Structure 1
Amino acid sequence: MDRMGAMKVSEVQALVGQLREVTASRRAYSRRFRLDQLKGIKALVRDHTQELQEALYHDLGKAPFESTVTEISVIKNEVDYAILHVSDWMEPESVRMPLAYQPATGTIRPRPKGQVLIIGPWNYPVQLVLAPLVAAVSAGNTAVLKPSEKAPATADVLARLIPEYLDPSAVAVVQGGAEVVQALLAEKWDHIFYTGGERVGRIVYEAAAQQLTPVTLELGGKSPAVVSDGPVATIAKRLAWGKFVNAGQTCVAPDYVLAVGDQMRDKLEAELPKVIDEFYESSPESSLDYGRLISAEHTQRLVEMLQQTLDAGAELITGGGYAIEERYLAPTVISRVAPDTAVMAEEIFGPILPIVTVKDIDEAMAFIGERPHPLAAYLFTDRARVRREFEERVVAGSMGFDAPLLQISVPGLPFGGVGPSGIGNYHGKYGFDTFTHFRAEVSKTDQLDTLKAVYPPYGWAKKQFTKRVL
């Protein structure tokens, strides 16, 4: 695919200045404008589904079906939900005023934050760019989108199509690498929305702090999947799907399994290889349903991590094959993994599933609690008591019970991290709220000046009044 040109650093300031003029005009505030932009996003993904699928295959080896399920349909659902509800979200809310302030009215009025920057990742380069955009334009903001240069084909398609379907004076796409991101971060924004890794997230946060800009940081972490009890055949299929979709490059994928007891570990060791063979017809390397890693460098990192863990005594259950230049690493399961090995030191973000054995559910929850709060936590169990304890004791951005990933694609549910896995959330009304300033307004009539009760001088009568009324 031919590449579109990256924006020059010198052009960034001019673009942001032009967008600022549109923001100041308040043209993007209107209900009609918001709906037009939302319908534009809907039309874009409807009219260019095949082109988006081809770009995703080029960048990540995603099968068209997988692209539809994990990217395009998610955006369709998100934008339909916003179109249906945005008029209600925009409405001001009346607040009952205290008796001492009467007669008066109180109002919460949703107002756009203004001009926002959205920095997208490479792993879901359609969903995780357009979903924040749905939230931003539904709230009446102008926006600059910075798709990841590591998914160049998808970034090019978005850069070409977005100006055709949305108002280019209110929504702009900027392409480029680290220098362009630095130039964007140097500008003044009313909100910055970043999805990606923790290291760059800290850079974004520090840059935003220089101008006290509010941020949403959608990061990641090591999301555990605790397997306590239940039908192992079903559990193995759901674990394998959640882990190996998009070749494991999913921020809420099960990063590792905590198998409760040796017996459960042994069952998973037996069942997971069968499931992987079934999913990819015993040949993931030639399967059109199994994706590729984003780069040779990322593949090399994962291969080294895997080898270090095996050298430390872990057992290879299935997989392990790789081709660095082809960006391929087989769906891999390792077991008898020690907590201090390479795969447990950082987020894997690839198709390696470690199994760690714990003696009981209490040890599993303690294991999670000793580590940074994850973006997601999963529990497989048929026991209501175990689920209640897990809900109460485990801190995570989101939870899934007996199924992974589903929580990220429901427009009515908030999605976001906690602690090192992220700041803030979005989707549906929560996304609208993220990009909205809820302004408090009080209107006091001048026909009856009850405020005279608090004007100086503060005599005996006023003191008695305040004791009774305030």
Structure 2
Amino acid sequence: MSSPPPSPSPAKWFKALRRTRLGEPCLKTYPLECVDLLKRSRIAFQAGRTLKEGFRLAQLEAVVQMLEEHECGFVDALGRDLHKPKFETVVSELILVKNEALHANNNLKKWMQPQYVERNLSTTLDECLMVSEPLGVVFIMGNWCSPVQTCLVPLVGAIAAGNCAIISPSEYTAHTAELLHRLIPFYLDNECFHVILAGVNDLPEVVELRFDHVFFTGNRKEGSRIARAAACTLTPVTLILGGKNPCYVDQHCDIAITAQRIAWARFHNAGQSLVAPDYILCHTDIQARLVQALKCYLIEFYGSDPRESRSYGRMVNLEIFNRTRDMLWRSGKVAVGGQVIEAEKYIAPTILTEVVESDPIMQQDVFGPVVPVLTVNNMDEAIVFINKQEKPLCVYAFSKNNEVISRLMSETSSGSFCSNDSVLQSLMVALPFGGVGASGMGSYHGRYSFDTFSHRKSCLLRGTRFECVTYLRYPPYEDRNLSLMSWACTLSQRSQGWCQIL
């Protein structure tokens, strides 16, 4: 194996460092630059640079170090992009990524070991195993709702699995994208890991450059374009897509706790989330109490004027602001909130009632601080309503009745399910997270990220013994040999594993 490419010269490091300190803006990455970065990554991968456990561990530790040493920088960037409070940035972005990196670091040795499978009579003297090998160079596209974690959590999996990676943060969160573009060259290997700054419309063109895997987080429309571009080169994809996540509230629930948890999940990050409850289906008898409880918690969280609250964010740009405002104005009746200020990209936490299925807010994904409340007469009605829609990324159910929870979990289909809380199932390192149907394909987090960016190669290591049995498979084909093999297959059906005498 050839020696790995040399590290960047000190002069290059100093030049990059000076640019970071002076705050020089990062320019858009053009297709020819992407071709060059992909070529460099391929050379590094083919040289075996990422294969050793020590290299992977060092890169994972560097991710943690970067987040710890530049916490203030990330807080500032997300504050500029989303008016995101420090608490939300640290807890839902930085700590989440660090947990993933530390978990991968602690378990990497076990994940990299071959997995042996059960032997049978014909493989008693052989070895049957699966080896996880890296895919190569992968392309990771982040989302503006959670611009740090949607870039770096998949990156942790790609590093752990031994891949090179090119990362594309969302152009909507420009300050965060530029920060990642500047910092990553200091902490991660300069030949294996790169950040590009590309627009949404440029991404399909980049995907067509032919990566070994594409990981995309975003909305369905953009995800569909990415999937079509990847299909041209038969590139496998993981798609984590938004959807209308239903939240059923049963009449037998703790209204106060339910309202508190829904309000936190829906209005966190000013409602800009792929996993927050998108609409509420509640029993007719409790609608008024639920809306009142939600209103009380909004006041407790953000005060009487959320615009003045340091805990409340803003819309990422005017495009998303206008789309959310238009849906708000054309749907149902405002029960709480409804105030908008275009100059500040501000939309108050808003609860809508008297919403019908044909309203615009029920026809599109909501990436903003607006939650419609619809009523149903019973759980059966709620299940029918949920199953009429496309399969969502998440389904939520609030009830004290375990039978209600069990039915919602088993009689609806979604990427994930959570009872009596929201969002947390999408953050846990031990649980796979991903979509199904229209909400995406594939999953990640923890070991599942490692598997997503690995190929599990089946390996049979045989010797030359047992030829006294395997000769039965060779021509010329004799009826006697066929009878013996058929008899062996019959035994196999009874005792499991005798038929593989080939």
Q: Compute the TM-score of the two structures, normalised by the length of structure 1.
A: 0.97
CA distance in 2, matches of 1:42, 1:424: 25
1:199-214 correspondence runs (5 A): 199-214=221-236
Question: Residue 352 of structure 2: SS of its match in structure 1?
Answer: strand
Aligned in 2, Cα 1:168/1:402: closer, same or farther, shift over 3 Å? same
- Whether the 8 Å contact between 1:216 and 1:425 is mirrored in structure 2 is yes
CA distance in 2, matches of 1:56, 1:364: 37
| 1:98 partner letter | N
Report how far residue 2 of structure 1 moved.
4.9
| 1:107 partner letter | L
Please state if 1:286 is matched with 2:286.
no
Aligned in 2, Cα 1:348/1:192: closer, same or farther, shift over 3 Å? same
Of residues 469, 472, 475 in structure 2, which corresponds to 1:456?
Answer: 475
Aligned in 2, Cα 1:278/1:188: closer, same or farther, shift over 3 Å? same
Q: 1:120: which partner in 2?
A: 142
Report how far residue 448 of structure 1 moved.
4.3
Q: 1:215: which partner in 2?
A: 237
Report how far residue 46 of structure 1 moved.
1.0
- Whether the 8 Å contact between 1:101 and 1:451 is mirrored in structure 2 is no
Of residues 131, 143, 164 in structure 2, which corresponds to 1:109?
Answer: 131
Q: 1:376: which partner in 2?
A: 394
Identity %: 35
- Whether the 8 Å contact between 1:219 and 1:375 is mirrored in structure 2 is yes
- Whether the 8 Å contact between 1:3 and 1:153 is mirrored in structure 2 is no
Deviations 1:295-343 (A, max 9, x none): 112111111111111xxxx221110011112110000011121111111
Question: Residue 285 of structure 1: SS of its match in structure 2?
Answer: helix
Q: 2:271: which partner in 1?
A: 248
Q: 1:143: which partner in 2?
A: 165
Please state if 1:270 is matched with 2:288.
no
Of residues 210, 234, 249 in structure 1, which corresponds to 2:257?
Answer: 234
Q: 2:485: which partner in 1?
A: 466
Of residues 29, 36, 60 in structure 1, which corresponds to 2:51?
Answer: 29
Aligned in 2, Cα 1:333/1:178: closer, same or farther, shift over 3 Å? closer
| 1:333 partner letter | I
Q: 1:89: which partner in 2?
A: 111
Report how far residue 388 of structure 1 moved.
1.2
Q: CA RMSD in A?
A: 1.3
CA distance in 2, matches of 1:268, 1:468: 67
CA distance in 2, matches of 1:281, 1:194: 36
Please state if 1:420 is matched with 2:438.
yes
- Whether the 8 Å contact between 1:117 and 1:191 is mirrored in structure 2 is yes
| 1:458 partner letter | Y
Report how far residue 180 of structure 1 moved.
4.0
Q: 2:414: which partner in 1?
A: 396
Deviations 1:175-200 (A, max 9, x none): 12245424311211110000011111
1:337-416 correspondence runs (5 A): 337-416=355-434
Q: 2:463: which partner in 1?
A: 445
CA distance in 2, matches of 1:431, 1:213: 17
CA distance in 2, matches of 1:32, 1:180: 35
When structure 1 is superposed on structure 2, of 9-18 and 241-250 the one drifting more is 9-18
Q: 1:51: which partner in 2?
A: 73
CA distance in 2, matches of 1:87, 1:467: 43
Report how far residue 65 of structure 1 moved.
0.7
How many equivalent pairs are there? 465
- Whether the 8 Å contact between 2:204 and 2:225 is mirrored in structure 1 is no
Of residues 144, 157, 182 in structure 2, which corresponds to 1:160?
Answer: 182
CA distance in 1, matches of 2:200, 2:323: 21
Report how far residue 370 of structure 1 moved.
0.4
- Whether the 8 Å contact between 1:9 and 1:179 is mirrored in structure 2 is no
Q: 2:28: which partner in 1?
A: 6
Unaligned runs of 5+ in 1: none
1:41-80 correspondence runs (5 A): 41-80=63-102
Q: 2:5: which partner in 1?
A: none
CA distance in 1, matches of 2:47, 2:242: 37
Deviations 1:37-88 (A, max 9, x none): 1111111111111110110000000100111111111111111111111110
- Whether the 8 Å contact between 1:3 and 1:152 is mirrored in structure 2 is no
| 2:398 partner letter | F
Report how far residue 138 of structure 1 moved.
0.5
Deviations 1:334-359 (A, max 9, x none): 11211111111111111001000100
Unaligned runs of 5+ in 2: 1-22, 489-498
CA distance in 1, matches of 2:202, 2:259: 43
- Whether the 8 Å contact between 1:106 and 1:441 is mirrored in structure 2 is yes
CA distance in 2, matches of 1:337, 1:459: 74
CA distance in 2, matches of 1:123, 1:179: 18
When structure 1 is superposed on structure 2, of 445-454 and 53-62 the one drifting more is 445-454
